[in-house]
Chain A
């Protein structure tokens, strides 16, 4: 099978859907003439023209709201945020308008829109440019939230998001755009809300999503050498969450560690923990552990940043703790 970069998977998904449906357009800062801040829309201006691949001024609130309005009037916008940190100045339009329009209008207006761009940290970018808002958006009914971790999932899920009739938050990572992975030539769609077992194992379940899954893979390799087989569940979608997949795995392994690049209070790991104690309490052989970022804004310096990020050694220790091993 051919291998492509994550950014190419994004580009293919958008381009294929724009060929298929002329109501789909891409709007955002630097998406057209610059070919995307991270080159995720490379070549799209040439193919689709400036009517459908639209550069904006730096006005997230304005262009987000305009695209929600366009979705109310028959279009299917893709809005790119250069990073989801910048979605904060547009969050009124996402939470109060995109997420609620269907319900407030008594079902009259669908909002088929995708908000996409990178999330979370990407090196030493410090506090304002290193935030993961997955759990913020996942908290809001009316939205769907997808966080893929490889090019294959990215393409299939982004195509599903663009075809979906509800507003979808689609979160990528600056640190994944260059990742390569196998992606088939033909068209395929992956279902929203279905988790994927990325590594089968019998001893401990690790639930995670997004680029931080790489830390789980590393931990699994190291632990395997010590005879501990972890099962890695990639949620892929954090609203709705595929609880069944998690609970099924926990019923098999009886142990759970959540790995998430996010602040700890009220994050996705917290939610998973609640649901597992609710539905698999008697199956648990140890308290659930979670490895998240520090409960502080992200620091700049490399030493403090390393301390702030979810750490490989902490994850390994957490897995062992659920097995009562040192």
Chain B
């Protein structure tokens, strides 16, 4: 696929999408404090450019899989955000009818393969999606996301070897946000250039600035084209930052407020808005319209989630097996 031009329309879409993701996550934080969302909650604030750049590079039928910081990726892929919110609230109309919760969002229809709670467990699955595409002759690519913590798992290393051995159409993306929960990258290994882990497998690899979607797009397009043309996997270390804690219970003693503020100066949404303003892609009034639209949609998500019921308790036995009459033990 030819490289896309980053037009006015792209910038406006990026702005609206990223703002929606940010506001959606902010709303989740509020709902968590109100105890309307329970369990663990991991927010994407600050990392939006990684997703925005990737989505522009994706073609129809391309796939995405990630870990548990996974609310906004399906929204970006086209899943109704109201259904994602309903899932977070544990409701029947949620993407998994309330079975999955915050860490386990899935959409087969929109090629979003989760949503995985075990750090690194999704990495071989991503290569497996790519394996099946190659086996079936599909010209699709799978984006397999992980964090800077997950890449220290053996799952990455076995998968990297197999993906190279079998030349799979997969892109491994490390979203390096600086911290594996409260452990900084410096404290997880004797080196901090995560991308260099590709070198041992002779996998094309490089670091990428993750705070601007244009740069992410360039890197993703190059990697996905390589995969699509039969050139095999790529490892991208996308350097980003999360503004919020690892999860809602994180007091963040491992970093300073000044550090967070430094990154917020490079905020991807502010960057895109600056481009829109400087290139006069939209008037202030038009930007305000986008802001209002986002605000209204987030409000709709909450209303939808609130209105949706909890699934009947006996649904606990539904959708566990493909076999509909599986004889569960009940005594």
Q: Do A and B come from one complex?
A: yes
Binding site for B on A (CB under 8 A): 25, 51, 56-57, 59, 61-75, 92-93, 96-97, 101-110, 112, 141-142, 144, 164-166, 193, 240, 278
Is the Cβ of B128 less than 8 Å from the Cβ of A73? yes
Residues of A within 8 A of B124 (CB): 61-66, 68-69, 93
Is the Cβ of A70 less than 8 Å from the Cβ of B320? no
Residues of B within 8 A of A64 (CB): 124
Residues of A within 8 A of B104 (CB): 104-105
Is the Cβ of B162 less than 8 Å from the Cβ of A70? no
Of all A-B residue pairs in the complex, the 6 with the closest CB atoms, nearest first, are: A69-B128, A65-B124, A62-B158, A107-B319, A106-B96, A165-B322
Segment of B105-113, B207-215, B280-288 in the binding face: B105-113
Please measure, in the bound complex, the distance between the C-alpha atom of A72 and the C-alpha atom of B108, giving whole angstroms. 9
Please measure, in the bound complex, the distance between the C-alpha atom of A152 and the C-alpha atom of B94, giving whole angstroms. 45
Question: In whole Å, how far is B90's beta carbon from the nearest beta carbon of chain A?
Answer: 12
Size category of the B interface is: 35 or more
Segment of B21-29, B31-39, B131-139, B235-243 in the binding face: B131-139
Residues of B within 8 A of A74 (CB): 132, 136
Give the residues from 65 to 89 in chain B that come closer than 8 angstroms, CB to CB, to chain A: 65
Please measure, in the bound complex, the distance between the C-alpha atom of A18 and the C-alpha atom of B63, giving whole angstroms. 27
Question: In whole Å, how far is A244's beta carbon from the nearest beta carbon of chain B?
Answer: 9
Nearest A residue to B128 via CB reads A69
| Interface pairs (5), CB distance under 8 Å | A62-B127, A73-B129, A92-B118, A105-B115, A141-B320
B268 at the interface (CB under 8 A from A): no
**Interface readout for B130-153 with A: 1 if CB under 8 Å, 0 if not?**
111101100000000000000000
Residues of B within 8 A of A70 (CB): 128-129, 131-132, 135
Is the Cβ of B161 less than 8 Å from the Cβ of A106? no
Is the Cβ of A104 less than 8 Å from the Cβ of B331? no
List 18 additional contacts besides A106-B99, A107-B319; criterion CB under 8 Å: A51-B135, A61-B124, A63-B158, A68-B128, A69-B125, A69-B127, A69-B131, A69-B132, A75-B132, A92-B155, A103-B319, A104-B104, A104-B114, A105-B99, A109-B108, A165-B323, A240-B327, A278-B331
Question: Given A104-B104, A240-B327, are A142 and B128 neighbors across the interface (CB < 8 Å)?
Answer: no
B321 at the interface (CB under 8 A from A): yes
Question: Which listed residue (B100, B113, B121, B129) contacts A93, Cβ 8 A?
Answer: B121
Is the Cβ of A66 less than 8 Å from the Cβ of B131? yes
Question: Given A142-B321, A240-B327, are A61 and B128 neighbors across the interface (CB < 8 Å)?
Answer: no
The binding surface of chain B is classed by DSSP as loop
B42 at the interface (CB under 8 A from A): no
Please measure, in the bound complex, the distance between the C-alpha atom of A93 and the C-alpha atom of B116, giving whole angstroms. 11
Question: In whole Å, how far is B79's beta carbon from the nearest beta carbon of chain A?
Answer: 11
Nearest A residue to B135 via CB reads A75
Give the residues from 20 to 60 in chain B that come closer than 8 angstroms, CB to CB, to chain A: none
Is the Cβ of B127 less than 8 Å from the Cβ of A65? yes
Binding site for A on B (CB under 8 A): 63, 65, 94-100, 104, 106-108, 113-118, 121, 123-133, 135-136, 154-155, 158-159, 161-162, 165, 318-323, 326-328, 331
Nearest A residue to B116 via CB reads A97
Residues of A within 8 A of B107 (CB): 108
Nearest B residue to A63 via CB reads B162
Q: Which of B125, B165, B322 counts the most chain A CB atoms within 10 A?
A: B125
Question: Which listed residue (B94, B328, B331) contacts A106, Cβ 8 A?
Answer: B94
Is the Cβ of A102 less than 8 Å from the Cβ of B322? yes
Question: Given A56-B162, A66-B128, A166-B323, are A105 and B106 neighbors across the interface (CB < 8 Å)?
Answer: yes
Question: Given A59-B158, A61-B158, are A97 and B136 neighbors across the interface (CB < 8 Å)?
Answer: no
Residues of A within 8 A of B99 (CB): 103-106
Residues of A within 8 A of B321 (CB): 102, 142, 144, 166
Residues of A within 8 A of B117 (CB): 96
Nearest B residue to A142 via CB reads B320
Please measure, in the bound complex, the distance between the C-alpha atom of A69 and the C-alpha atom of B128, giving whole angstroms. 4
Is the Cβ of A102 less than 8 Å from the Cβ of B135? no
Is the Cβ of B320 less than 8 Å from the Cβ of A61? no
Residues of A within 8 A of B162 (CB): 56-57, 59, 62-63, 66
Question: Which listed residue (A59, A104, A164) contacts B96, Cβ 8 A?
Answer: A104
Please measure, in the bound complex, the distance between the C-alpha atom of A63 and the C-alpha atom of B123, giving whole angstroms. 11
Question: In whole Å, how far is B131's beta carbon from the nearest beta carbon of chain A?
Answer: 5
Question: Which listed residue (A72, A102, A164, A240) contacts B113, Cβ 8 A?
Answer: A72
Residues of B within 8 A of A63 (CB): 124, 158, 162
Is the Cβ of A107 less than 8 Å from the Cβ of B155? no
Is the Cβ of B96 less than 8 Å from the Cβ of A105? yes
Please measure, in the bound complex, the distance between the C-alpha atom of A22 and the C-alpha atom of B141, giving whole angstroms. 22
Is the Cβ of A69 less than 8 Å from the Cβ of B126? yes
Residues of B within 8 A of A141 (CB): 320, 328
Question: Which listed residue (A66, A72, A97) contacts B159, Cβ 8 A?
Answer: A66
Please measure, in the bound complex, the distance between the C-alpha atom of A112 and the C-alpha atom of B155, giving whole angstroms. 22
Please measure, in the bound complex, the distance between the C-alpha atom of A207 and the C-alpha atom of B108, giving whole angstroms. 42
Nearest A residue to B163 via CB reads A66
Residues of A within 8 A of B127 (CB): 62, 65-66, 69
Nearest A residue to B311 via CB reads A106
Nearest B residue to A110 via CB reads B322
Residues of B within 8 A of A166 (CB): 321-323, 326
Please measure, in the bound complex, the distance between the C-alpha atom of A74 and the C-alpha atom of B137, giving whole angstroms. 12
Residues of A within 8 A of B123 (CB): 65
Residues of A within 8 A of B108 (CB): 105, 108-109
Please measure, in the bound complex, the distance between the C-alpha atom of A97 and the C-alpha atom of B119, giving whole angstroms. 12
Residues of B within 8 A of A165 (CB): 322-323
Residues of B within 8 A of A193 (CB): 327
Question: Given A67-B128, A69-B125, A74-B132, are A103 and B322 neighbors across the interface (CB < 8 Å)?
Answer: no
Residues of B within 8 A of A66 (CB): 124-125, 127-128, 131, 159, 162
Nearest A residue to B130 via CB reads A69
Nearest A residue to B136 via CB reads A74
